Amino acid sequence: MDSTFAIDFFSEEWIRNATITAFLVFLYFYLLSKIKNENLELFFKVSALIIFSMTLTYHIILLTSGSWTLKEDLPLHLCSVSAIICCIIFFVKKKQFLFEFLFYCGIIGGFISILTPQITLYDGNYFFYIIFYFKHASIIIIPIAIMYRMKMHLRKYSWLKTFGGINILLAIVMPVNAALGSNYLYVAKPPIAKNPLILGTGENTILGLPDYVFGFEIILLILLLVFYLIFKPRNRNE
């Protein structure tokens, strides 16, 4: 399994998948609205365990088939990090920074991935197809659900702290990419699928990084600020 499958934006396949995903997201929130407060913690923990089980199954299938590699399958992409946070956030006491990082990165990354799907290691096995949409829908659903039912809010400089966290992750990923020849965070070369955050071809480099990385940083910083302004608490000084 070595192929990467990109789905064209607004193709028949894209419309079908986006419609099914939207319906399942709506269904989750409908079920969430029916959960009583005393059962809310259990509901969220079960959700986290389902995400963990699906993620673990994905890696087990790759390992048992001999397809798992350090170069491709470490959880170092932003959406994979967000999925890990979804698995642990309901089991830790200090949730605020995890929630904020997940809110910004999960929603932005999840939406962009569903808009521009790129399924790694797709060989016709529908589990890999399903897990792609499941993971990216999950990292959109969970932070919104936390804000909606757990009443957690974004702090004043959360957008800037998240930007700093992403760049710390970038600093960790860069030597990993150099050592493994990998493309985690897509900072070695752009993704196959057309991504609205990627401006440039990467043929030119700045400070050893493809030129589009710096454009991505600027666009990302603006997006984080816009998200904060839209979702910030009202009538609060946080």
Q: Judge whether 1 and 123 are in contact, CB under 8 Å.
A: yes
Task: State the number of CA atoms in the 13 A half-sphere of 95 facing the CB.
Answer: 19
pLDDT in the model for residue 97? 96
Q: Select from 79, 99, 40 the least CA-distant residue to 238.
A: 99
Within a 10 A sphere around the Cβ of 178, how many other Cβ atoms?
11
Within a 10 A sphere around the Cβ of 199, how many other Cβ atoms?
15
Q: What is the pLDDT along the chain (238 residues), one digit of tens a residue?
A: 446 788 888 899 999 999 999 999 999 999 999 999 999 999 999 999 999 999 999 999 999 989 899 999 999 999 999 999 999 999 999 999 999 999 999 999 999 999 988 887 666 668 888 999 999 999 999 999 999 999 999 999 999 999 999 999 999 999 999 999 999 998 888 877 666 666 666 677 777 778 888 888 999 999 999 999 999 987 655 5
Sign of the CA dihedral running 212, 217, 218, 223: positive
Task: State the number of CA atoms in the 13 A half-sphere of 50 facing the CB.
Answer: 14
Tell me the C-alpha distance between 208 and 188, whole Å.
Answer: 10
Residue 100 has which token pair? 């904020």
pLDDT in the model for residue 235? 67
